[in-house]
Amino acid sequence: MSQTTPIVHKTRTQVVVEVLREKILSGEIAAGEPLRQSALAESLNVSRIPVREALLQLEAEGLVKFEAHKGATATKLSVEQVAELFELRSMIETDLLIKAIPNLSTEDFLEAEQVLELLESAFKKENAVASWSELNTQFHTCLYQAANRPHTLEVVQGLNTNCDRYIRLQLLLGGGIPKAEHEHRELLNYCKIGNTEKAAELLKHHILNAAETIKQLVAQQVK
């Protein structure tokens, strides 16, 4: 019995993480809104312990901020944060892709194609918004993992988690879906033919161009 308790406890915490993450990313919990542990525990029908642990995890993801005398709040959107996160992504992901392309296999391309089809299908469904960022990250990971840089890939996944709510803004409010679909297909094709230079150039443009759109949207929302 002693071995099952932490597994159940961890699962409960993870459920709370996923529920709160979705509420913050979707805007149901607004930026700057206080996250009161007792109220959250009551609404989610759990004790305060998994709520506390979930908020700490979300703090590590950049979605929650703890302040003295104020407690936890949903982090505010920031133009400066967008610039930093997306510039980091453009540098690290471009380098990963350059290292990965010579090692990409037929299986990697098949996996990337399957994920891309799922993403394109999700784009067409209003109730699938929550899966967009996850599938987007999966697609890019299919192209990066052949670089054999697991620690760098872990950093990229952390950056993507922090970028999640910003990417949704771009796709939902910035009209970014058709452009994303086209650029993903083009990127996959450059990788297939081994055109490293074109692939890296497109990826950098893909990330930084999204950042410009998002910065404009964030500037409007934080006025």
Q: Would you say residue 7 has pLDDT above 60?
A: no
Residue type, 38: S
What per-residue confidence (pLDDT) applies to 117? 96
Torsion of CA 160, 162, 167, 170, to 10 degrees: -150
What average pLDDT score do residues 35-63 get? 91
Query: Residues of CATH 1.20.120.530 domain(s) within the chain?
Result: 79-221
Mean pLDDT, rounded, of the chain: 89
Q: Would you say residue 8 has pLDDT above 70?
A: no
* Pairwise CA distance, residues 170 & 217, whole Å: 8
Q: Are strands 71-74 and 64-67 parallel, antiparallel or unpaired?
A: antiparallel
The topology (CATH level 3) of 79-221 is Four Helix Bundle (Hemerythrin (Met), subunit A) (1.20.120)
* Pairwise CA distance, residues 155 & 113, whole Å: 24
* Pairwise CA distance, residues 110 & 55, whole Å: 37
Query: Residues of CATH 1.10.10.10 domain(s) within the chain?
Result: 4-74
What per-residue confidence (pLDDT) applies to 76? 83
The topology (CATH level 3) of 4-74 is Arc Repressor Mutant, subunit A (1.10.10)
Torsion of CA 133, 139, 141, 145, to 10 degrees: 170
State the pTM of this model: 0.76
What per-residue confidence (pLDDT) applies to 94? 98
What per-residue confidence (pLDDT) applies to 3? 44
Chain segment 116-172, per-residue pLDDT in tens:
999 999 998 867 777 888 899 999 999 999 999 999 999 999 999 888 888 888 887
Spell out the alpha helix ranges (H) of the chain.
4-26, 37-44, 48-60, 79-100, 106-123, 129-144, 150-173, 177-192, 196-221
Q: 45 in helix, strand or coil? A: coil
